[in-house]
Amino acid sequence: MTLITFLLVCVAGMLLTLLTMPFARLSRLVALGSLAGALAAAVLLNPNDSVTLGEVTLATTWFGGFFLSALAASSLLLCVIGLATGWPERLAPAALATMAGVGVAISSTDPTVALIAAAAATAPAALVASRVRSTPLGTTVGIAELRTLALVVSASVLAAVTILNTNWNSDDPTFVLALAFLVVSAAVAVRSGAVPFHVPAALLSRSGEGLGLVLSLVWIPTGFGLIALSWNASIFGVPGDWLDRAVVVVQIVAIATLILGAVGAMLHDEIEEIVVYSIVQDTGFILLALTARSEDAAQPARLWLLAFVIAKSALVAWAAAASWAFESSNLGELRGWLRRAPILGIALVVIVAATLGWPGSPVFEARGTLVGLGLPDPLHFIGTAAILLSLAYYVRLLAVGLLTPTDTVRRAGGDWPHWPHLARETDESVEAAARTASPLVLAVATNLVELEDEASGDDEGVPHRRPNLYLRHRLAAAWRLNRPLETSLLVLATATIAAIVAFGGFGASDASQSGITLDDAAAPPPNPSGLDNGGQPTDTPSAEPTAVPTLQLAPSAPPLASPSPSDSPSATPTATATTGN
Amino acid sequence: MLDAAVFAAVAVVLGGVVAATARDGRIVVLGLMLAAVAATLVASPLPGSLAVTARILGAMLAAYLLWAAAGSGKVNSAGSAIGLVAEGAVAVAAFAVGLALRPVDPLAGPVEAQAAGLSLIALAIVPLAGRDVFRMGVGVTLLTLGSSLLVGAWSGPTPPLEQLAMAALLVGIAGATSLLIPSLEAEEAATDYVLESAPAPVATARPVAARPVAPRPAALRPPAVPIKSNAPERVAAPNVAPLQAVAERKPMTAETPKPIEPIEPIQPIEPEKRPRPMTAEPEADDWLAWEAPAPEPAQPVTTRSARRAPVKRLNEIEKPAPKKATRSRPHLGGKP
């Protein structure tokens, strides 16, 4: 029931947020409440929960709950940051819809349901992209979004059919597998903006989406990539010429993404574009996990996905906070930003640590393992090159921040703490503070103004007869003055959570061990190609009606035993891909 | 005797052809709804009533979302790029191929589902290749329906949860399409006009080749109209005036060629101005916004942040002169 509760909270929250959108204040309250509710429901997910709907079982795992919690926490933190930097009005409902789709996808034991739900979870990206539809750029963004959706849908369905059916009428059965591998990898690459499919992502970065970028470029691709990885080793882990050629193609795309993504981040001067290319670069590791086709890549891939979700969310939040604090996103105008916003600088360093790690740290080892398994030996230097290139653009960001501040940066307050000096403030200043303050501050300040006539003791309006009101007055002003500081602290908190998860904290290491792994002892992997690992034909013609290959994510979930509706006794290899451990 | 699946498959293809070729957005939506509802029934055996209900409700909701977008006047579909006959031929050919093809042997579902699925996928190719957002959404929907039919044909009956997921996917696609349809102004700005490099005081946008201007016969050339202008004599008259004269002529008869519509003087179009990222103007009465910036025109602004005024420190607020204590009520006590 915990899974159903989570899904209900997400769907109801999405609908309520959309319905209340004309009422801005109410919509924000509903959105924040729904995200908080979704986070609570995700945290409380029972790892052994399972629900059977018709012939399909939805089963939860520890990792599934952890991943959904990471998504919900990132969404909530970014929306809270958005209260200061500019409310992303469609991000919350889109995030809730995506979480619902991903929740169904990663808990379904039926591959078709999982992949269709994963495809449906990519549709909410249009909610964010539609913000710019009234501009000429918006048309291009919309077309790119719909084409991406078309590719994801067709790839998902083709992959599902490939998993479910083994009666392909082909001389080389691995051709169908290779085709399915290629389209699924292409869907992951296109959805995540890998090179050479990075143009929509670049367009999105120029459209002023702000915090909305994280949905299209991080949360949705990660969820879809997780589904693709969940059965990657079990389905595609067979030899075959066609499959090997398809793997080479994906490896080329992954290498290009790892190198050119970092180069793009170094060449651009707008921090949104730098952030987008940084995200694009790191999606190369998801493609490497796909090309690994090995169970050994499952655990590091899952840990990397967790770190990727939160660290890149923190990076997008950092960019939003920096743009807002300095009123510019151009790196040339942001010279010296680090001097005025040291907390943002600390947050960026923490984000770098969470993304790259250091030798021996879990995230560093995870990246190294994915490079080692996904690429042939002569190309293992690509991993080191990717780290160095990433460091280059991160160091560039920090180095620019240490230069002499520009006028733009000088004009901004930065995130140093400020304490207002109100020794001789008058009613007007109190009203000015009240006008721009939060509701609590507004009430306090209004109260102060009303009582000042009675409480003031001298000719200058200083309320020394009510010292508590005076203090509240100063607190209200301090709250308003220190808004950049508060935003920076929220970004730092997000980055810290990302670092903790990346280093295996909060149980991330244990969670990444569980979940979608192949259990050889319980059932053999599906072998639709009819070949064994040595490339020889298997001797299991299997005249028996076979069980449908299933994705079993939970150890306790019973394998789906829906009989294949094959109306012929012809051979379908025994293929029960139980993926729980 | 013909199976019900055959009729449903034919209805699917008909709906797809209508959706791919109609010019009126509402007819397109009706075609899509017919295809989506009928696609549920191309199965053997028929799915359970609950699953059928879910799919039909999903199809209706998806159609409603597209209908709302079409009814708002924003949809300006150009119809099929290759024509009704060609689309119909493509659909029939793909249907025939689907009846004959056996990529999976034996098929787990009805062969009509495979035929209808291939037909819808073939119909989806042309819209997906274009740049019309509405037609592209139609193409994505047709592609999804065709793929679901192929799943039914190759993998057998679909469980209820899969039907529910497919319904959600269709609604998601329709919702995404209706959200992404640009306004007419943006569409025209994106497709009809090309910005000149140098701005000029008069309209400088020119129509692109998509709207070629037919050569005017000599009989239609406007008479010489004296142009009242304050400009010196040596300055050439603006070339907009003759076109305005054309517009003032009496309507043409059926035999005469269609007159050229006058080109309205267009305001100079500003270069593309990138919206300021990361921030949005909060509502004035929005108490959840932590900031309600007070605009200050004298402040220099940067290129990407022109819309938000800087935060003014409290100690920078202009302080009025201290006022005299004019209290009408007695002090509450303390220092007099």
Residue B256: CB atoms within 10 A of its CB come to 11
Is the predicted ipTM greater than 0.95, yes or no? no
Q: And the tokens for A9?
A: 């909270």
Q: And the tokens for A458?
A: 């001298």
Say how many domains are in chain A.
2
A566 and B CB contact within 8 Å: yes
- If asked whether residues A299 and A440 sit together in one domain, one would say no
Placement of tokens 């924000």 in the chain: A28
- If asked whether residues A449 and A467 sit together in one domain, one would say yes
Instruction: Indicate whether A552 belongs to any domain.
Output: no
A-interface mutation test, from B138, B177, B180, B328, most A Cβ less than 10 A away: B180
Question: Of A492, A513, A534, which residue is a domain's last?
Answer: A513
- If asked whether residues A459 and A497 sit together in one domain, one would say no
From chain B, pick out residues whose CB is under 8 angstroms from the CB of A566. 106, 108, 156
Q: Do B300 and A137 touch (CB under 8 A)?
A: no
Instruction: Indicate whether A362 belongs to any domain.
Output: yes
Measured between its terminal Cα atoms, the distance across chain B in Å is 107
Instruction: Indicate whether A579 belongs to any domain.
Output: no
How far CA A283 is from CA of A181, A404, A503, B39, B262, in Å, comes to 17, 34, 19, 37, 52
pLDDT in tens, chain B (336 residues): 567 888 999 999 999 999 988 888 888 899 999 999 999 888 878 888 888 888 899 999 999 988 887 766 556 566 777 778 888 899 999 999 999 988 887 888 889 999 999 999 999 998 888 888 888 899 999 999 999 999 888 888 888 888 899 999 999 999 988 888 876 655 555 554 444 333 434 333 333 333 333 444 444 444 444 444 444 444 344 444 444 444 444 444 444 555 566 666 556 555 444 444 444 444 444 444 444 445 455 444 444 444 444 445 455 555 555 554 444 444 443 333
Helix crossing, B111-129 with B84-100: angle to 10°? 140
- If asked whether residues A369 and A464 sit together in one domain, one would say no
- If asked whether residues A314 and A295 sit together in one domain, one would say yes
- If asked whether residues A340 and A438 sit together in one domain, one would say no
Q: Do B131 and A412 touch (CB under 8 A)?
A: no
Instruction: Indicate whether A527 belongs to any domain.
Output: no
Q: Which of A35-44, A171-180, A416-425 has the highest mean pLDDT?
A: A35-44
Comparing CB atoms, the residue among B131, B156, B280 nearest residue A87 is B280
Question: Of A466, A495, A513, which residue is a domain's last?
Answer: A513
Comparing CB atoms, the residue among B156, B159, B292 nearest residue A435 is B292
pLDDT reported for residue A556: 36
- If asked whether residues A431 and A300 sit together in one domain, one would say no
The partner residues of B206 in beta bridges, in order of sequence, read B194
**pLDDT, tens digit, for every residue of A83-114?**
888 888 889 999 999 999 999 998 888 888 88
Range of the domain at A474: 427-481
With a CB cutoff of 8 Å and minimum separation 6, the contacts of A345 are A337, A338, A398, A401
Residues 32-51 of B with CB under 8 A from A: 51
- If asked whether residues A115 and A214 sit together in one domain, one would say yes
Instruction: Indicate whether A399 belongs to any domain.
Output: yes
Longest dimension (CA), chain A: 101
- If asked whether residues A444 and A399 sit together in one domain, one would say no
**pLDDT, tens digit, for every residue of A25-49?**
899 999 999 999 999 999 998 888 8
Question: Of A441, A466, A481, which residue is a domain's last?
Answer: A481
The partner residues of A531 in beta bridges, in order of sequence, read A537
